[in-house]
Amino acid sequence: MPELPEVETIRRDLLPLVGSRLREVMIKQPRLVRPDPATFRDRLRGRTLRGISRRGKLLIFDWGENLLLVHLGMTGALILAGDTAEPSHTRVILELDRGRIYYADPRGFGWLEALPREDLPRHPFYQKLGPEALEISLAEFEARLAASRSRIKSLLLDQRVLAGLGNIYTDEALFRAGIHPARRAADLSPQERKRLYEAIREVLRRGIELRGSSVRDYVDGQGKSGRFQEEHCVYGRRGLPCPSCGRPLQYQKIAGRGTTFCPFCQR
């Protein structure tokens, strides 16, 4: 699933379209658009794009009095193209003055929703999002960990607690901080909490710098692969040597998600 670095990369790739007018909306898979295809078109067609922002893993397109929310789900992609061939698994096409945005999604778990601007604070997905992973203060981060009896991996994946992290960057941050993913969040020492806070910021910033992790379906807004997977220490490396101690990395389900870690470096 695209996480904060992947979504932020796509946002930046699409920024050249700001100031462009939306000429037409083509919907190939109606179930992915909300509230319904007709309303979706009416709220967007003919409007000028004023800006693109991000909240956690959610993209927000500003069309003035209406907004477009895009959640990429597990395999969604937004690709900016001129006259190039349509990507496979294209579900929705937004045709603007300066090019087309293709929403492609092989598994179809993402969604696009057009809504009035004033409805955003009450949107059921948006209103539950916690503070941004790159903006939360150390003091608030520590307080949220200290108040939870959840396992640290489960807590970091909870978008109500911290918005933007997913399986890849959680595993990478926990490894860099030397914290076992099954530890209870409240049991971490102040030093461990600070190390984890810094590790989260480190992997997210590096992920953005390298334009995301392409381990399965992810491509950026130009339809190209990211490069952060080349620097993964644990994610996708089960059974391979730990980059720190050389022992085999272990894999197990923690918080319902496949988790790779070093049992020696992350006790």
Is 2 annotated in the active site? Answer: yes
Cβ-proximal residues to 71 (8 Å cutoff; 6+ apart), any chain: 57, 58, 59, 110, 111, 112, 125
Evaluate whether 219 touches 105 at the Cβ level (below 8 Å): no
* Helices (H), ranges, the chain: 4-14, 37-44, 138-146, 152-157, 167-177, 190-209
Of 3, 6, 8, 172, the active-site residue reads 3
Percent helix, strand, coil in the chain, to 5, is: 35, 25, 45
Among candidate residues 41, 183, 224, 257, the one labeled active-site is: 257
Q: Which of 54, 57, 151, 176 is catalytic?
A: 57
| Residue 14 φ/ψ region, left for φ over 0, alpha for ψ in the -120 to 50 degree band, beta for the rest | alpha
> Does 142 qualify as catalytic in the annotation?
no
Residue 100 annotated to the active site: no
Q: Give the active site residues.
A: 2-3, 57, 257
